[in-house]
Amino acid sequence: MVRIKLSRSIGPLPRRIFRSSLPLTPWYLPCCPPMIDGKCPNCSYDPSTDEEEIVGGSSKPTTETNDENDDVLDNYCSFCIELPDRPVTTPCGHNFCLECFKKWMKQGKQTCPNCRTTIPTKMASTPRINTQLAITMRMAKLARSKGVGGSITPKVHCIDHYAILVTIPKDHFGPIVAENDPTRNRGVLVGDKWKDRMECRQWGAHFPHIARVAGQKNQGAQSVVLSGGYTQDEDHGEWFTYTGSGGRNQFLDHQFNNTNEALRLSCRKGYPVRVVRSHKEKQSSYAPEAGVRYDGVYRIDICWSEFGKNGEKVCRYLFVRCDNEPAPWTSDLSGDYPRTLPFIEEFRDAVDIIERNGDPSWDFDEEKGCWLWKKPPPLSKRPLNIVDPIENALNPPLKRTKGAGGKAVMK
């Protein structure tokens, strides 16, 4: 430590001091050499900001949002040195592409490639995509291209009661647009999450709160939920295979009736089917960590039957995504484009294969560059739901609760 001899002519020392980067070495203002631009000679400390902070903060605009966006886009997968595609985040905080991470796990190396922290067995077998990071990267790309910052996560307004909050009938096909949402005037967007299926039902993404399929055998299927997971099902995000009703019955053959026939009719007509994924889908990397999430509309391109382990027939369906909004697990800025059908091994042993003949009702328009109804949607046979936002706020519907003796009462 350098000692400075003080002259008596200096007078009493002022109270203001410059903080040095070295501990216990304050610089007294009268003893310092002449400073340039008000900078401390011992560090990069800028004393000109002190007065601004005292009177209520700096008047300089901050770029914190843009800096955060840049940090997100500087996050690369250690394997491919690219932005993580369908990012997977390890407990130690490192991010990788889903496919890169799976290849690493298949080699039997159950440790983080960056810090060698042990990866939990559950994550090693079924890694979950960090959809929040994917949305953040997408918004950062959008902000960088437009030069602006913005909110990253769309907020979904939740209502305490279980009233239906969209103006659609229960047999509505396709996306739920802003015109059907008088409460928020935004519609149901891809990536919207709810804590349970009852809240999901409020916004019309999937009306049945127990059944996996919403549909009628003479009209088609409007929506499905991926929950529970069947061993023969595959989920690859943009496409997945789905087992019809009765998939867990190991002895009886499936029949194309009821909801199974509704799914087959949607396959033949090319109707869009809304898809909701639940956190209970344990076999999928694309399922949310909690609650349920709306993932957009899909088309059923092929349906078939196959023989199960005990010789019983099982109804199977191939869903392919066809939505104008990007999927929650990708950082892409655009939605889907027509893609070739994947080859599935079980097609070799399939029977009763049904493919669509003719053009689908919901298809991609090359001129407009989006998915739309090429044919009129099926006419609704259910009453249209009427929503009055003010009435809902003032007079919430009655809720069923348990009273004395366990009997159901209305509150």
- For 33-84, the pLDDT digits (tens) are 444 444 444 444 444 444 333 333 333 333 444 555 556 667 778 788 778 8
For residue 364, the number of C-alpha atoms closer than 13 Å in the C-beta half-sphere is 14
231/243 Cα distance (integer angstroms): 10
Reported as a pLDDT band with limits 50, 70 and 90, residue 174 is very high
Handedness of CA 25, 28, 31, 33 (dihedral sign): positive
End-to-end CA gap in the chain: 75
165/168 Cα distance (integer angstroms): 9
How much is the pLDDT for 165? 93
Reported as a pLDDT band with limits 50, 70 and 90, residue 392 is low
Taking a C-beta distance cutoff of 8 angstroms, is the pair 224, 294 a contact? Answer: no
Beta-bridged to residue 410, according to DSSP, are 400
Q: CATH fold of 178-390, please? A: PUA domain-like (2.30.280)
Q: How far is CA 355 from CA 141, 164, 321, in A?
A: 39, 35, 17
* Strand pairing class (272-278; 351-355): unpaired
Tokens 């996996």 -> residue: 212
Average pLDDT (331-350) is: 89
For the record, the structure tokens of 293 come out as: 């999430």
Query: Who has greater pLDDT, 106 or 153?
Result: 106
In this predicted structure, the answer to whether residue 201 has a pLDDT above a threshold of 50 is yes
| Length of the chain, in residues | 411
pLDDT in tens, 241-299: 999 886 455 667 888 889 999 999 999 999 999 999 999 988 889 999 999 999 999 99
User: Phi and psi at residue 30, in whole multiples of 5°?
Assistant: -70, -20
* Strand pairing class (313-321; 370-373): unpaired
How much is the pLDDT for 214? 96
For the record, the structure tokens of 240 come out as: 């997945």
How much is the pLDDT for 102? 85
Q: Nearest Cα to 91, choosing from 65, 54, 118?
A: 118
How much is the pLDDT for 7? 45
224/356 Cα distance (integer angstroms): 20
For the record, the structure tokens of 140 come out as: 């950062």
Taking a C-beta distance cutoff of 8 angstroms, is the pair 285, 126 a contact? Answer: yes
Type and span of the H or E element at 84: none
Query: Degrees (nearest 5) of the Cα angle 385, 390, 394?
Result: 110
263 sits in the region (left: phi over 0; alpha: psi -120 to 50; else beta) called alpha
Taking a C-beta distance cutoff of 8 angstroms, is the pair 173, 167 a contact? Answer: no
In this predicted structure, the answer to whether residue 325 has a pLDDT above a threshold of 50 is yes
> What is the pTM assigned to this prediction?
0.67
User: Phi and psi at residue 95, in whole multiples of 5°?
Assistant: -115, 140
How much is the pLDDT for 150? 41
How much is the pLDDT for 302? 94
Question: Where are the domains positioned within the chain?
Answer: 8-55, 64-146, 178-390
Average pLDDT (194-204) is: 94
Tokens 């009453």 -> residue: 383
Amino acid at residue number 20 = S
Residue 63, Cβ density class (10 Å: 0-12 exposed, 13-18 middle, ≥19 buried): exposed
Residue 150, Cβ density class (10 Å: 0-12 exposed, 13-18 middle, ≥19 buried): exposed
| 64-146 maps to CATH 3.30.40.10 | yes
389/386 Cα distance (integer angstroms): 10
374/365 Cα distance (integer angstroms): 8
Reported as a pLDDT band with limits 50, 70 and 90, residue 122 is confident
